[in-house]
Structure 1
Amino acid sequence: MTVYFVDGQFVEKEHVSISIDDRGYYFGDGVYEVIKVYDGELYTSEEHIARLFESAAKIKLAIPYSEAQLIEMAKQLVVSNSISVGHVYMQVTRGVAPRVHQFPTPAVAPMFTAYALDGARPTEEMQKGVKVKSVEDFRWLRCDIKSLNLLANVMAKQEAVESGCKEAVFVRDGYVTEGASTNLFGVKDGVLYTHPANNFILNGITRQVVLRLSRELGVAVREEPFTLEAALVMDELFMTSTTLEVMPIIQLDDKMVGSGRPGEITLQLQKAFASQISTVVAGA
Protein backbone atom coordinates (compact mmCIF):
# COMPACT_ATOMS: atom_id res chain seq x y z
CA MET A 1 0.00 0.00 0.00
CA THR A 2 1.41 3.37 -1.08
CA VAL A 3 0.16 6.44 0.77
CA TYR A 4 0.02 9.88 -0.88
CA PHE A 5 -0.82 13.29 0.53
CA VAL A 6 -3.41 15.00 -1.67
CA ASP A 7 -5.26 18.21 -0.96
CA GLY A 8 -4.93 17.93 2.81
CA GLN A 9 -5.54 14.21 3.20
CA PHE A 10 -3.47 11.01 3.31
CA VAL A 11 -4.91 8.59 0.76
CA GLU A 12 -3.88 5.32 -0.86
CA LYS A 13 -2.40 5.69 -4.33
CA GLU A 14 -5.25 3.91 -6.11
CA HIS A 15 -7.67 6.51 -4.74
CA VAL A 16 -5.67 9.53 -5.92
CA SER A 17 -7.44 11.64 -8.54
CA ILE A 18 -6.22 14.92 -10.03
CA SER A 19 -8.51 17.11 -12.16
CA ILE A 20 -7.69 17.63 -15.83
CA ASP A 21 -8.29 21.33 -15.13
CA ASP A 22 -5.36 21.50 -12.71
CA ARG A 23 -3.10 24.33 -13.87
CA GLY A 24 -0.07 22.15 -13.26
CA TYR A 25 -1.34 19.90 -16.06
CA TYR A 26 -2.18 22.73 -18.42
CA PHE A 27 0.69 25.13 -17.86
CA GLY A 28 3.22 23.61 -15.46
CA ASP A 29 1.93 26.38 -13.19
CA GLY A 30 3.49 25.28 -9.95
CA VAL A 31 6.65 24.42 -8.04
CA TYR A 32 8.12 21.31 -6.44
CA GLU A 33 10.77 19.93 -4.09
CA VAL A 34 12.52 16.62 -3.42
CA ILE A 35 13.80 15.75 0.06
CA LYS A 36 16.21 12.86 0.60
CA VAL A 37 15.57 10.22 3.25
CA TYR A 38 18.39 8.33 4.98
CA ASP A 39 17.72 5.65 7.60
CA GLY A 40 14.11 6.78 7.78
CA GLU A 41 15.04 10.40 8.54
CA LEU A 42 14.59 13.50 6.37
CA TYR A 43 17.86 15.15 5.32
CA THR A 44 18.05 18.98 5.07
CA SER A 45 14.26 19.15 5.12
CA GLU A 46 14.13 22.70 6.49
CA GLU A 47 16.32 23.96 3.64
CA HIS A 48 14.22 22.21 1.00
CA ILE A 49 10.93 23.45 2.43
CA ALA A 50 12.29 26.99 2.68
CA ARG A 51 13.27 26.83 -0.99
CA LEU A 52 9.80 25.54 -1.89
CA PHE A 53 8.29 28.64 -0.28
CA GLU A 54 10.85 30.87 -2.04
CA SER A 55 9.99 29.36 -5.44
CA ALA A 56 6.27 29.71 -4.75
CA ALA A 57 6.66 33.35 -3.76
CA LYS A 58 8.53 34.08 -7.00
CA ILE A 59 5.50 32.94 -9.03
CA LYS A 60 3.01 34.62 -6.66
CA LEU A 61 1.66 31.31 -5.37
CA ALA A 62 0.56 30.97 -1.74
CA ILE A 63 1.20 27.58 -0.12
CA PRO A 64 -1.72 26.70 2.16
CA TYR A 65 0.46 25.14 4.87
CA SER A 66 3.25 26.27 7.15
CA GLU A 67 6.83 25.05 6.79
CA ALA A 68 6.46 23.06 10.03
CA GLN A 69 3.26 21.41 8.76
CA LEU A 70 4.96 20.31 5.55
CA ILE A 71 7.89 18.79 7.42
CA GLU A 72 5.51 16.84 9.66
CA MET A 73 3.55 15.73 6.59
CA ALA A 74 6.79 14.52 4.95
CA LYS A 75 7.76 12.61 8.09
CA GLN A 76 4.37 10.89 8.17
CA LEU A 77 4.73 9.87 4.51
CA VAL A 78 8.12 8.32 5.30
CA VAL A 79 6.63 6.32 8.17
CA SER A 80 3.43 5.34 6.35
CA ASN A 81 5.38 4.08 3.35
CA SER A 82 8.15 2.43 5.42
CA ILE A 83 10.91 4.35 3.64
CA SER A 84 14.45 3.68 4.84
CA VAL A 85 16.46 5.23 1.99
CA GLY A 86 14.59 7.18 -0.64
CA HIS A 87 12.96 10.55 -1.09
CA VAL A 88 9.82 12.61 -0.57
CA TYR A 89 8.47 14.46 -3.61
CA MET A 90 6.06 17.35 -3.13
CA GLN A 91 4.49 19.87 -5.48
CA VAL A 92 1.98 22.68 -5.34
CA THR A 93 0.06 24.08 -8.31
CA ARG A 94 -2.11 27.17 -8.64
CA GLY A 95 -5.14 24.91 -8.48
CA VAL A 96 -8.10 23.77 -10.56
CA ALA A 97 -9.68 26.33 -12.90
CA PRO A 98 -10.88 26.73 -16.51
CA ARG A 99 -7.97 27.00 -18.94
CA VAL A 100 -6.96 30.64 -19.33
CA HIS A 101 -3.36 31.83 -19.22
CA GLN A 102 -3.78 34.52 -16.56
CA PHE A 103 -4.28 33.67 -12.90
CA PRO A 104 -7.84 32.51 -12.06
CA THR A 105 -10.27 35.26 -11.00
CA PRO A 106 -11.46 34.85 -8.37
CA ALA A 107 -8.49 32.91 -7.00
CA VAL A 108 -8.86 29.17 -6.44
CA ALA A 109 -7.32 26.97 -3.77
CA PRO A 110 -3.82 25.68 -4.60
CA MET A 111 -3.43 21.93 -5.09
CA PHE A 112 -0.77 20.28 -2.93
CA THR A 113 0.39 16.69 -3.52
CA ALA A 114 3.24 14.62 -2.10
CA TYR A 115 4.51 11.05 -1.90
CA ALA A 116 7.49 9.05 -0.64
CA LEU A 117 9.44 6.41 -2.58
CA ASP A 118 12.35 4.05 -1.97
CA GLY A 119 15.60 4.90 -3.74
CA ALA A 120 19.01 3.44 -3.02
CA ARG A 121 22.14 5.58 -2.97
CA PRO A 122 24.02 5.36 -6.32
CA THR A 123 27.14 3.98 -4.64
CA GLU A 124 28.55 2.09 -7.63
CA GLU A 125 28.37 5.11 -9.91
CA MET A 126 29.81 7.29 -7.16
CA GLN A 127 32.83 5.00 -6.99
CA LYS A 128 33.40 4.73 -10.74
CA GLY A 129 32.18 8.07 -12.05
CA VAL A 130 29.91 8.81 -15.01
CA LYS A 131 29.93 10.36 -18.48
CA VAL A 132 28.11 13.59 -19.35
CA LYS A 133 27.24 15.47 -22.54
CA SER A 134 27.19 19.21 -23.18
CA VAL A 135 24.00 20.68 -24.67
CA GLU A 136 22.82 24.18 -25.49
CA ASP A 137 21.06 25.83 -22.55
CA PHE A 138 17.86 26.96 -24.26
CA ARG A 139 15.80 27.25 -21.06
CA TRP A 140 14.03 30.36 -19.84
CA LEU A 141 15.82 32.99 -17.72
CA ARG A 142 14.39 32.05 -14.30
CA CYS A 143 16.17 28.78 -13.61
CA ASP A 144 16.37 29.82 -9.95
CA ILE A 145 12.69 28.87 -9.63
CA LYS A 146 12.14 25.14 -9.06
CA SER A 147 9.09 25.12 -11.30
CA LEU A 148 7.19 22.31 -12.98
CA ASN A 149 8.24 23.63 -16.41
CA LEU A 150 10.92 21.03 -17.14
CA LEU A 151 10.44 20.21 -20.84
CA ALA A 152 13.83 21.68 -21.81
CA ASN A 153 15.48 19.66 -19.04
CA VAL A 154 13.68 16.51 -20.20
CA MET A 155 14.83 17.02 -23.78
CA ALA A 156 18.42 17.66 -22.70
CA LYS A 157 18.47 14.63 -20.43
CA GLN A 158 17.10 12.42 -23.20
CA GLU A 159 19.78 13.66 -25.59
CA ALA A 160 22.41 12.74 -23.01
CA VAL A 161 20.91 9.30 -22.34
CA GLU A 162 20.74 8.54 -26.07
CA SER A 163 24.48 9.31 -26.18
CA GLY A 164 25.19 6.86 -23.36
CA CYS A 165 25.64 9.59 -20.76
CA LYS A 166 24.27 10.06 -17.25
CA GLU A 167 23.60 13.78 -17.45
CA ALA A 168 23.31 16.76 -19.79
CA VAL A 169 25.54 19.76 -19.03
CA PHE A 170 23.92 23.03 -20.06
CA VAL A 171 26.07 25.62 -21.84
CA ARG A 172 24.74 29.18 -22.25
CA ASP A 173 26.68 31.59 -24.44
CA GLY A 174 29.76 29.42 -24.07
CA TYR A 175 29.57 29.14 -20.27
CA VAL A 176 28.65 26.05 -18.28
CA THR A 177 25.63 26.71 -16.08
CA GLU A 178 24.40 23.44 -14.53
CA GLY A 179 23.09 19.99 -15.38
CA ALA A 180 19.57 19.05 -16.42
CA SER A 181 18.90 17.98 -12.82
CA THR A 182 22.23 18.72 -11.09
CA ASN A 183 24.73 21.43 -10.21
CA LEU A 184 28.19 21.30 -11.80
CA PHE A 185 31.61 21.74 -10.18
CA GLY A 186 35.13 21.77 -11.60
CA VAL A 187 38.52 21.54 -9.91
CA LYS A 188 41.63 23.11 -11.40
CA ASP A 189 44.97 23.35 -9.57
CA GLY A 190 43.24 22.67 -6.26
CA VAL A 191 40.60 25.38 -6.69
CA LEU A 192 36.89 24.50 -6.80
CA TYR A 193 34.81 26.33 -9.42
CA THR A 194 31.03 26.48 -9.82
CA HIS A 195 28.55 28.84 -11.44
CA PRO A 196 27.26 31.54 -9.06
CA ALA A 197 23.73 31.17 -7.71
CA ASN A 198 21.89 33.63 -9.94
CA ASN A 199 18.87 33.31 -12.24
CA PHE A 200 20.73 30.95 -14.60
CA ILE A 201 20.88 28.04 -12.14
CA LEU A 202 18.93 26.47 -9.32
CA ASN A 203 20.79 26.94 -6.06
CA GLY A 204 20.83 23.28 -5.08
CA ILE A 205 20.62 22.31 -1.42
CA THR A 206 23.33 19.69 -1.94
CA ARG A 207 25.32 22.38 -3.78
CA GLN A 208 25.12 24.57 -0.69
CA VAL A 209 26.21 21.73 1.60
CA VAL A 210 29.16 20.89 -0.66
CA LEU A 211 30.32 24.51 -0.78
CA ARG A 212 30.27 24.66 3.01
CA LEU A 213 32.13 21.35 3.31
CA SER A 214 34.70 22.53 0.77
CA ARG A 215 35.51 25.59 2.83
CA GLU A 216 35.68 23.48 6.00
CA LEU A 217 38.21 21.23 4.23
CA GLY A 218 40.28 24.26 3.28
CA VAL A 219 39.52 24.01 -0.43
CA ALA A 220 39.59 27.37 -2.21
CA VAL A 221 36.19 28.11 -3.77
CA ARG A 222 35.35 30.42 -6.64
CA GLU A 223 31.71 30.89 -7.52
CA GLU A 224 32.20 32.21 -11.02
CA PRO A 225 31.21 31.11 -14.53
CA PHE A 226 33.62 28.96 -16.52
CA THR A 227 33.51 28.09 -20.20
CA LEU A 228 32.98 24.72 -21.81
CA GLU A 229 36.60 24.92 -23.00
CA ALA A 230 37.72 25.41 -19.39
CA ALA A 231 35.53 22.50 -18.27
CA LEU A 232 37.21 20.23 -20.80
CA VAL A 233 40.63 20.81 -19.21
CA MET A 234 39.58 20.67 -15.56
CA ASP A 235 41.54 18.29 -13.33
CA GLU A 236 38.24 17.08 -11.86
CA LEU A 237 34.55 17.48 -12.57
CA PHE A 238 31.62 16.40 -10.46
CA MET A 239 27.92 17.12 -10.09
CA THR A 240 25.64 17.29 -7.09
CA SER A 241 21.95 16.75 -6.43
CA THR A 242 19.61 15.40 -3.78
CA THR A 243 19.59 11.93 -5.32
CA LEU A 244 23.11 11.78 -6.81
CA GLU A 245 24.93 13.36 -3.81
CA VAL A 246 28.54 14.02 -4.99
CA MET A 247 28.83 12.27 -8.36
CA PRO A 248 32.23 12.17 -10.12
CA ILE A 249 32.34 12.94 -13.84
CA ILE A 250 35.03 11.01 -15.71
CA GLN A 251 34.17 12.07 -19.25
CA LEU A 252 32.68 15.22 -20.78
CA ASP A 253 31.64 14.76 -24.40
CA ASP A 254 34.57 12.89 -25.98
CA LYS A 255 37.17 14.18 -23.51
CA MET A 256 38.38 12.20 -20.50
CA VAL A 257 38.41 14.23 -17.29
CA GLY A 258 41.79 14.11 -15.54
CA SER A 259 42.95 10.52 -15.20
CA GLY A 260 39.51 9.15 -16.04
CA ARG A 261 38.91 8.29 -12.39
CA PRO A 262 37.25 10.24 -9.56
CA GLY A 263 39.64 12.96 -8.39
CA GLU A 264 41.14 13.57 -4.98
CA ILE A 265 39.02 16.57 -3.99
CA THR A 266 35.88 14.87 -5.30
CA LEU A 267 36.62 11.84 -3.12
CA GLN A 268 37.30 14.05 -0.10
CA LEU A 269 33.93 15.74 -0.59
CA GLN A 270 32.17 12.41 -1.00
CA LYS A 271 33.64 11.29 2.32
CA ALA A 272 32.76 14.56 4.03
CA PHE A 273 29.23 14.45 2.66
CA ALA A 274 28.72 10.87 3.87
CA SER A 275 29.96 11.92 7.30
CA GLN A 276 27.56 14.87 7.25
CA ILE A 277 24.66 12.53 6.49
CA SER A 278 25.57 10.24 9.38
CA THR A 279 25.86 13.18 11.80
CA VAL A 280 22.55 14.73 10.80
CA VAL A 281 20.62 11.45 10.80
CA ALA A 282 22.09 10.39 14.13
CA GLY A 283 21.02 13.69 15.66
CA ALA A 284 17.50 13.62 14.22
Structure 2
Amino acid sequence: MTRTVYVNGEYLPETEAKVSIFDRGFLMADGVYEVTTVLDGKLIDFDGHATRLARSLSELEMKEPVTKEELLSIHRKLVEENGVDEGLVYLQVTRGAADRDFAYPKDAEPTLVLFTQKKNAVNSPAAKTGISVISIPDIRWGRRDIKTVQLLYPSMGKMAAKAAGADDAWMVEDGFVTEGTSNNAYIVKDGVIITRNLSTHILHGITRAAVLRFAEVAQMKIEERPFTIEEAQNADEAFITSATSFVQPVVKIDDKAVGTGTVGPVASRLREIYLEESRKAAI
Protein backbone atom coordinates (compact mmCIF):
# COMPACT_ATOMS: atom_id res chain seq x y z
CA MET A 1 0.00 0.00 0.00
CA THR A 2 1.31 3.44 -0.96
CA ARG A 3 1.41 5.85 1.94
CA THR A 4 -0.08 9.31 1.88
CA VAL A 5 2.51 11.90 2.89
CA TYR A 6 2.43 15.65 3.43
CA VAL A 7 4.68 18.07 1.55
CA ASN A 8 4.24 21.83 1.82
CA GLY A 9 0.46 21.95 2.06
CA GLU A 10 -0.31 18.93 -0.13
CA TYR A 11 -1.29 15.36 0.74
CA LEU A 12 0.33 13.12 -1.86
CA PRO A 13 1.08 9.47 -2.59
CA GLU A 14 4.65 8.90 -1.40
CA THR A 15 5.71 8.09 -4.97
CA GLU A 16 4.78 11.61 -6.07
CA ALA A 17 6.39 13.52 -3.18
CA LYS A 18 9.26 15.81 -4.19
CA VAL A 19 11.54 18.37 -2.53
CA SER A 20 13.88 20.73 -4.38
CA ILE A 21 17.52 19.72 -4.81
CA PHE A 22 18.30 23.24 -3.56
CA ASP A 23 16.59 22.59 -0.24
CA ARG A 24 18.96 23.50 2.58
CA GLY A 25 18.00 20.38 4.48
CA PHE A 26 19.53 18.38 1.63
CA LEU A 27 22.52 20.67 1.06
CA MET A 28 23.39 21.83 4.58
CA ALA A 29 21.47 19.62 7.05
CA ASP A 30 19.75 22.92 7.84
CA GLY A 31 16.61 21.47 9.36
CA VAL A 32 14.96 20.09 12.46
CA TYR A 33 12.62 17.19 13.08
CA GLU A 34 10.28 15.51 15.55
CA VAL A 35 8.92 11.99 15.91
CA THR A 36 5.54 11.54 17.58
CA THR A 37 4.39 8.10 18.68
CA VAL A 38 1.00 6.72 17.66
CA LEU A 39 -0.75 4.25 19.96
CA ASP A 40 -4.28 2.98 19.37
CA GLY A 41 -4.51 5.48 16.51
CA LYS A 42 -3.84 8.43 18.83
CA LEU A 43 -0.87 10.76 19.32
CA ILE A 44 1.36 10.50 22.39
CA ASP A 45 2.83 13.70 23.91
CA PHE A 46 1.91 15.84 20.89
CA ASP A 47 2.04 19.07 22.90
CA GLY A 48 5.56 18.32 24.09
CA HIS A 49 6.81 17.60 20.59
CA ALA A 50 5.14 20.73 19.18
CA THR A 51 6.69 22.86 21.93
CA ARG A 52 10.16 21.41 21.35
CA LEU A 53 9.79 21.91 17.61
CA ALA A 54 8.99 25.59 18.14
CA ARG A 55 12.06 25.92 20.36
CA SER A 56 14.34 24.23 17.81
CA LEU A 57 13.05 26.52 15.07
CA SER A 58 13.55 29.57 17.25
CA GLU A 59 17.12 28.59 18.16
CA LEU A 60 17.96 28.34 14.45
CA GLU A 61 16.00 31.48 13.47
CA MET A 62 13.60 29.53 11.25
CA LYS A 63 10.01 30.41 10.55
CA GLU A 64 7.22 28.22 11.87
CA PRO A 65 5.59 26.90 8.67
CA VAL A 66 2.14 26.28 10.20
CA THR A 67 0.36 26.82 13.50
CA LYS A 68 0.27 24.20 16.24
CA GLU A 69 -3.41 23.57 15.50
CA GLU A 70 -2.68 23.03 11.79
CA LEU A 71 0.17 20.70 12.69
CA LEU A 72 -2.15 18.60 14.86
CA SER A 73 -4.67 18.42 12.04
CA ILE A 74 -1.97 17.21 9.61
CA HIS A 75 -0.81 14.54 12.06
CA ARG A 76 -4.34 13.26 12.58
CA LYS A 77 -5.16 13.19 8.88
CA LEU A 78 -2.00 11.21 8.05
CA VAL A 79 -2.69 8.72 10.84
CA GLU A 80 -6.23 8.23 9.55
CA GLU A 81 -5.33 8.13 5.84
CA ASN A 82 -2.61 5.55 6.42
CA GLY A 83 -4.51 3.45 8.95
CA VAL A 84 -1.80 3.70 11.61
CA ASP A 85 -2.86 2.02 14.85
CA GLU A 86 0.67 1.75 16.25
CA GLY A 87 3.70 3.54 14.87
CA LEU A 88 4.90 7.09 14.43
CA VAL A 89 4.58 10.36 12.57
CA TYR A 90 7.87 11.86 11.36
CA LEU A 91 7.97 15.62 10.84
CA GLN A 92 10.78 17.65 9.28
CA VAL A 93 11.14 21.39 8.77
CA THR A 94 14.01 22.88 6.78
CA ARG A 95 14.89 26.46 6.05
CA GLY A 96 13.73 25.92 2.49
CA ALA A 97 15.18 26.08 -1.01
CA ALA A 98 17.76 28.69 -2.03
CA ASP A 99 21.05 28.97 -3.90
CA ARG A 100 23.80 27.28 -1.94
CA ASP A 101 25.38 29.71 0.52
CA PHE A 102 26.51 29.35 4.12
CA ALA A 103 24.61 32.50 5.07
CA TYR A 104 20.91 32.05 5.77
CA PRO A 105 18.75 33.06 2.78
CA LYS A 106 16.48 36.04 3.49
CA ASP A 107 13.39 35.06 1.53
CA ALA A 108 13.29 31.25 1.57
CA GLU A 109 10.04 29.65 2.71
CA PRO A 110 10.32 26.66 5.07
CA THR A 111 9.88 23.15 3.73
CA LEU A 112 7.49 21.03 5.79
CA VAL A 113 7.35 17.27 5.30
CA LEU A 114 5.48 14.64 7.31
CA PHE A 115 5.04 10.91 6.86
CA THR A 116 3.94 7.91 8.93
CA GLN A 117 5.57 4.59 9.72
CA LYS A 118 3.86 1.57 11.21
CA LYS A 119 5.87 0.00 14.02
CA ASN A 120 5.07 -2.52 16.74
CA ALA A 121 7.02 -1.17 19.71
CA VAL A 122 4.65 -2.03 22.57
CA ASN A 123 5.36 -5.76 22.25
CA SER A 124 9.04 -5.36 21.38
CA PRO A 125 11.03 -8.46 22.47
CA ALA A 126 13.79 -6.14 23.73
CA ALA A 127 11.47 -4.89 26.47
CA LYS A 128 11.59 -8.37 28.01
CA THR A 129 15.19 -9.32 27.26
CA GLY A 130 16.90 -5.93 27.48
CA ILE A 131 19.51 -4.54 25.11
CA SER A 132 23.30 -4.25 25.12
CA VAL A 133 25.24 -1.05 24.48
CA ILE A 134 28.83 -0.08 23.81
CA SER A 135 30.48 3.22 24.70
CA ILE A 136 31.86 5.59 22.05
CA PRO A 137 33.34 9.10 22.19
CA ASP A 138 30.80 11.90 21.77
CA ILE A 139 32.21 14.10 19.00
CA ARG A 140 29.00 15.84 17.97
CA TRP A 141 28.51 19.60 17.87
CA GLY A 142 27.78 21.48 21.08
CA ARG A 143 24.04 22.19 20.61
CA ARG A 144 22.53 18.77 21.10
CA ASP A 145 19.49 20.38 22.70
CA ILE A 146 18.37 21.42 19.20
CA LYS A 147 16.79 18.44 17.42
CA THR A 148 18.48 18.86 14.05
CA VAL A 149 18.67 16.44 11.14
CA GLN A 150 22.46 16.18 11.59
CA LEU A 151 22.36 12.48 12.43
CA LEU A 152 25.42 11.04 10.68
CA TYR A 153 27.44 10.43 13.85
CA PRO A 154 24.55 8.75 15.72
CA SER A 155 24.13 6.55 12.63
CA MET A 156 27.84 5.71 12.76
CA GLY A 157 27.40 4.88 16.44
CA LYS A 158 24.54 2.50 15.65
CA MET A 159 26.70 0.76 13.06
CA ALA A 160 29.66 0.54 15.47
CA ALA A 161 27.34 -1.12 17.98
CA LYS A 162 26.10 -3.62 15.41
CA ALA A 163 29.68 -4.42 14.37
CA ALA A 164 30.46 -5.14 18.03
CA GLY A 165 27.44 -7.41 18.38
CA ALA A 166 25.53 -4.87 20.49
CA ASP A 167 22.23 -3.06 20.00
CA ASP A 168 23.16 0.57 20.57
CA ALA A 169 25.88 2.96 21.75
CA TRP A 170 26.12 5.38 24.65
CA MET A 171 28.20 8.46 23.90
CA VAL A 172 30.81 9.68 26.38
CA GLU A 173 32.26 13.18 26.73
CA ASP A 174 34.80 14.29 29.37
CA GLY A 175 34.41 10.92 31.06
CA PHE A 176 30.62 11.08 31.42
CA VAL A 177 27.75 9.56 29.45
CA THR A 178 25.78 12.15 27.49
CA GLU A 179 23.07 10.02 25.82
CA GLY A 180 22.41 7.14 23.47
CA THR A 181 22.45 7.49 19.70
CA SER A 182 18.70 8.19 19.66
CA ASN A 183 17.66 8.08 23.29
CA ASN A 184 18.28 9.34 26.82
CA ALA A 185 20.31 7.16 29.21
CA TYR A 186 19.62 6.18 32.85
CA ILE A 187 20.97 3.98 35.61
CA VAL A 188 19.40 2.81 38.87
CA LYS A 189 21.42 2.41 42.06
CA ASP A 190 19.96 1.55 45.46
CA GLY A 191 16.50 2.48 44.18
CA VAL A 192 17.56 5.90 42.86
CA ILE A 193 17.03 6.72 39.16
CA ILE A 194 20.04 8.65 37.87
CA THR A 195 20.05 10.50 34.55
CA ARG A 196 22.03 13.38 33.13
CA ASN A 197 20.69 16.87 33.88
CA LEU A 198 19.33 19.00 31.05
CA SER A 199 21.78 21.29 29.24
CA THR A 200 23.07 21.87 25.72
CA HIS A 201 24.94 18.54 26.04
CA ILE A 202 21.82 16.39 25.57
CA LEU A 203 18.48 16.43 23.82
CA HIS A 204 15.63 17.47 26.08
CA GLY A 205 13.68 14.27 25.56
CA ILE A 206 9.90 14.47 25.58
CA THR A 207 9.66 10.85 26.73
CA ARG A 208 12.36 11.62 29.32
CA ALA A 209 10.22 14.39 30.79
CA ALA A 210 7.13 12.17 30.92
CA VAL A 211 8.95 9.21 32.48
CA LEU A 212 10.53 11.36 35.19
CA ARG A 213 7.17 12.96 35.90
CA PHE A 214 5.53 9.54 36.27
CA ALA A 215 8.43 8.33 38.43
CA GLU A 216 7.90 11.25 40.80
CA VAL A 217 4.20 10.50 41.07
CA ALA A 218 5.12 6.89 41.86
CA GLN A 219 7.39 8.28 44.62
CA MET A 220 10.58 6.98 43.03
CA LYS A 221 13.80 8.83 43.87
CA ILE A 222 15.46 10.74 41.02
CA GLU A 223 18.91 12.28 40.78
CA GLU A 224 19.76 14.38 37.72
CA ARG A 225 23.53 14.37 37.23
CA PRO A 226 26.19 12.95 34.92
CA PHE A 227 27.44 9.38 35.45
CA THR A 228 30.36 7.38 34.05
CA ILE A 229 30.40 4.10 32.12
CA GLU A 230 32.04 2.43 35.11
CA GLU A 231 29.28 3.67 37.39
CA ALA A 232 26.70 2.39 34.92
CA GLN A 233 28.34 -1.03 34.76
CA ASN A 234 28.19 -1.25 38.55
CA ALA A 235 24.58 -0.06 38.77
CA ASP A 236 21.64 -2.27 39.71
CA GLU A 237 19.80 -1.44 36.48
CA ALA A 238 20.13 0.69 33.36
CA PHE A 239 17.64 1.75 30.73
CA ILE A 240 16.92 4.17 27.90
CA THR A 241 13.89 6.21 26.91
CA SER A 242 12.73 7.53 23.55
CA ALA A 243 9.50 8.19 21.69
CA THR A 244 9.78 4.95 19.73
CA SER A 245 11.17 2.60 22.39
CA PHE A 246 9.35 4.05 25.44
CA VAL A 247 11.34 2.62 28.39
CA GLN A 248 13.78 -0.08 27.33
CA PRO A 249 16.10 -1.93 29.76
CA VAL A 250 19.86 -2.10 29.20
CA VAL A 251 21.38 -5.32 30.55
CA LYS A 252 24.96 -5.12 29.24
CA ILE A 253 27.42 -2.23 28.80
CA ASP A 254 30.73 -2.83 26.99
CA ASP A 255 30.28 -6.59 27.45
CA LYS A 256 29.77 -6.29 31.21
CA ALA A 257 26.43 -7.30 32.70
CA VAL A 258 24.48 -4.63 34.56
CA GLY A 259 23.19 -5.92 37.88
CA THR A 260 21.97 -9.47 37.36
CA GLY A 261 22.20 -9.11 33.60
CA THR A 262 18.43 -9.32 33.33
CA VAL A 263 15.60 -6.79 33.12
CA GLY A 264 15.15 -5.05 36.46
CA PRO A 265 11.99 -4.08 38.36
CA VAL A 266 12.37 -0.29 38.08
CA ALA A 267 12.65 -0.23 34.29
CA SER A 268 9.81 -2.74 33.96
CA ARG A 269 7.52 -0.74 36.23
CA LEU A 270 8.33 2.56 34.54
CA ARG A 271 7.51 1.06 31.14
CA GLU A 272 4.15 -0.15 32.44
CA ILE A 273 3.35 3.23 33.96
CA TYR A 274 4.47 5.15 30.89
CA LEU A 275 2.33 3.12 28.50
CA GLU A 276 -0.69 3.21 30.80
CA GLU A 277 -0.58 6.94 31.47
CA SER A 278 0.37 7.92 27.91
CA ARG A 279 -2.59 6.03 26.51
CA LYS A 280 -4.89 7.87 28.90
CA ALA A 281 -3.57 11.27 27.76
CA ALA A 282 -3.29 10.49 24.03
CA ILE A 283 -5.17 12.76 21.63
> One fold, TM greater than 0.5?
yes
> Aligned to 1:123, what secondary structure does the other structure show?
coil
1:235 counterpart residue number: 236
Gaps of 5+ in 2: none
> Aligned to 1:226, what secondary structure does the other structure show?
coil
Structure 2 counterpart of 1:117, one-letter code: Q
What is the TM-score of this pair, normalised by structure 1? 0.97
* 1:120-174 deviation line (CA, Å, top 9, x unaligned): 1152110110111110001111000000111111111111111121111010010
> Aligned to 1:146, what secondary structure does the other structure show?
coil
Structure 2 counterpart of 1:119, one-letter code: K
Aligned-pair CA distance for 1:200: 0.5
1:142 & 1:79 partners in 2: Cα distance?
Answer: 35
1:146 & 1:60 partners in 2: Cα distance?
Answer: 14
2:107 & 2:148 partners in 1: Cα distance?
Answer: 20
- 8 Å CA contact retained: 1:61, 1:94: yes
Aligned-pair CA distance for 1:278: 3.0
Structure 1 counterpart of 2:38, one-letter code: V
1:224 counterpart residue number: 225
1:119 counterpart residue number: 119
Pairing 1:37-76 to 2, within 5 Å after superposition: 37-76=38-77
* 1:33-87 deviation line (CA, Å, top 9, x unaligned): 0000001111111111111111111111111211111011100000011101000
1:101 counterpart residue number: 102
Aligned-pair CA distance for 1:22: 0.5
Structure 2 counterpart of 1:45, one-letter code: F
2:275 & 2:108 partners in 1: Cα distance?
Answer: 43
* 1:6-27 deviation line (CA, Å, top 9, x unaligned): 0111111111111111100011
1:81 counterpart residue number: 82
Gaps of 5+ in 1: none
Pairing 1:15-34 to 2, within 5 Å after superposition: 15-34=16-35
2:50 & 2:168 partners in 1: Cα distance?
Answer: 25
1:255 counterpart residue number: 256
**Is residue 245 of structure 2 the alignment partner of residue 244 of structure 1?**
yes
Q: Percent identity?
A: 36
- Which aligned runs of 4 or more in structure 1 are off by greater than 4 angstroms? none
Structure 2 counterpart of 1:34, one-letter code: V
Worse-matched range after superposition: 251-260 or 114-123: 114-123
Aligned-pair CA distance for 1:277: 2.8
Aligned-pair CA distance for 1:195: 0.4
Aligned-pair CA distance for 1:280: 2.2
> Aligned to 1:90, what secondary structure does the other structure show?
strand
What is the TM-score of this pair, normalised by structure 2? 0.97
Q: How many equivalent pairs are there?
A: 281
> Aligned to 2:72, what secondary structure does the other structure show?
helix
- 8 Å CA contact retained: 2:34, 2:53: yes
* 1:156-198 deviation line (CA, Å, top 9, x unaligned): 1111111121111010010011000000010001111000111
